[in-house]
Amino acid sequence: MKIAVVGATGLVGRKILEVINERDIQFTELIPVASEKSVGKKISFKGKDWTVVSLQNAVDQKPDVALFSAGGETSLKWAEAFAANGTFVIDNSSAWRMHPDKKLVVPEINAGELTINDKIIANPNCSTIQMVLALAPLHKKYKIKRVVVSTYQSITGSGILAVNQLENERNGIDGPKKYPHVIDKNCIPQCDDFSDGDYTKEELKLVNETKKILGDNSIQVTATAVRVPLVGGHSESINVEFEHEYELADIRPLLEKEEGIIVLDDVKNSVYPMPINAHEKDEVFVGRIRRDFSQPKSLNLWIVSDNLRKGAATNAVQIMEYLIKNNFIG
């Protein structure tokens, strides 16, 4: 099996390679793809040096699967070329997520919708993945009416330039900047560019992707996304209003039995999810589970996940694993 990793030298691309190694995905050839300035360089992986190639070179090699993490513009330009050669494309950008003919997949929720004909598969936004993984079993049992979410997102979600900016600020170095403001010891209530109604694109992703993944356009979602000076891990404060009443005692076991979720909720002993718990983990951590006393049939949750792993790389690799398991590839 040939695996292409597009954007192999970036934060998510490198994490994809780590996850492939950890999960012992069997392959015969790795095709690392990066920008033209990186073509010809070597990447060491699984005890072997692999040469970085161009996108056209990778297309011509007809890999079985291509994991894209090189931005929406690259995905829009090249994904269909790979797919035309029979390659399954798993795309981590926003390019194909809301396309009506493309599946938006969190494997634990809706991988079963995939068919052999789904050559371009969209990986959801990192903040969406962790939220819907926790919401899916609740929606199935109680039917979600409305979600209010505020995020506390790691700077790693905006790439290596943001990480470098924070490190430079902490070391008193004046270097290139990802953000228009100082990030160290600060919170910036802007993730991505502003769009309709003065919501950012990140906030609108939470709105639109949630409805598509859960398969219910009636769910109302409003979001505020905030960038915090943290290297690794997104946190979310979530308020959920249901159509049906619930018993608080039923929520915890409902979440605990779901694949990919770990409940940390013992406030008497100061046990609750924090980014440090999620670091380099593939699970989504849920805690601070409590009834909202201000609104009927409503619940508060605190959700944390490693945004580079389950929020990006791991979810993409899990989609590939599903394709392998169901004999779509390999």
Domain contains 256 = yes
What is the reported pLDDT for 196? 84
175 with 317, same domain: the answer is no
112 with 131, same domain: the answer is no
What CATH number did the domain enclosing 272 receive?
3.30.360.10
What is the reported pLDDT for 232? 86
137 with 204, same domain: the answer is yes
Q: Are 297 and 267 in contact (CB under 8 A)?
A: no
Domain contains 27 = yes
Report the domain count for the chain: 2
Phi-psi label, residue 251: left if phi above 0, alpha if psi -120 to 50, beta otherwise: alpha
Tokens describing residue 45:
């992986």
Domain contains 94 = yes
Kindly list the catalytic residues: 126, 234
Distance CA 83, CA 88 (A): 6
Radius of gyration from C-alpha coordinates of the chain? 20
119 with 131, same domain: the answer is no
What is the reported pLDDT for 159? 86
281 with 318, same domain: the answer is no
Q: Tell me which residue of 80, 48, 55 sits closest to 70, measured CA to CA.
A: 55
164 with 72, same domain: the answer is no
What is the reported pLDDT for 91? 98
What is the reported pLDDT for 326? 96
Distance CA 165, CA 201 (A): 22
Per-residue pLDDT tens for 89-119?
A: 999 999 999 999 999 999 999 999 999 999 9
12 with 58, same domain: the answer is yes
Domain contains 54 = yes
115 with 140, same domain: the answer is no
Distance CA 164, CA 118 (A): 37
231 with 139, same domain: the answer is yes
Amino acid at 296: P
What CATH number did the domain enclosing 43 receive?
3.40.50.720
Domain contains 294 = yes
Distance CA 231, CA 225 (A): 16
Domain contains 330 = no
167 with 196, same domain: the answer is yes
Number of Cβ atoms within 10 Å of the Cβ of 286: 28
- Which pTM does this prediction carry? 0.95
pLDDT less than 50: residues of the chain? none
Contacts of 249 (CB under 8 A, 6+ apart): none
77 with 225, same domain: the answer is no
Q: In what order do the strands lie in the sheet with 88-91?
A: 29-33, 2-6, 65-68, 88-91, 120-122, 103-104
269 with 252, same domain: the answer is yes
Domain span at residue 198? 127-307
